[in-house]
Chains A and B, each alone.
Chain A
Amino acid sequence: DAGVTQSPTHLIKTRGQQVTLRCSPKSGHDTVSWYQQALGQGPQFIFQYYEEEERQRGNFPDRFSGHQFPNYSSELNVNALLLGDSALYLCASSFMTPGTGADYGYTFGSGTRLTVV
Chain B
Amino acid sequence: KQEVTQIPAALSVPEGENLVLNCSFTDSAIYNLQWFRQDPGKGLTSLLLIQSSQREQTSGRLNASLDKSSGRSTLYIAASQPGDSATYLCAVRFTGGFKTIFGAGTRLFVKA
Contacts and interface: CB of A to CB of B under 8 A. Distances in A.
Interface string B70-109: 0000000000000000000101010101111111110000
Nearest to A90: B43
A56 B103 contact: no
Interface string B36-54: 1000011111100101000
Interface residues of A, number: 32
B28 interface: no
Interface in B19-66: 31-32, 34, 36, 41-46, 49, 51
Nearest to A58: B99
A55 B42 contact: no
A53 B45 CA distance: 26
A56 B95 CA distance: 13
A108 B36 contact: yes
B43 A109 contact: yes
A33 B100 contact: yes
A48 to B, nearest CB: 5
Interface string A16-52: 0000000000000001010100001111110010100
B44 to A, nearest CB: 4
A88 B104 CA distance: 14
Given A42-B104, A88-B41, A113-B41, A105 B99 contact: no
Interface residues of B, number: 26
A10 to B, nearest CB: 10
Interface of A is mostly: strand
Contacts of B98: 31, 48, 50, 55-56, 96, 101
Contact of A42 (B34, B43, B89): B89
Most buried by A among B44, B45, B93, B104: B44
B75 to A, nearest CB: 15
B91 to A, nearest CB: 7
Contact of B43 (A33, A104, A108): A108
A106 B47 CA distance: 11
A87 B52 CA distance: 32
A107 interface: yes
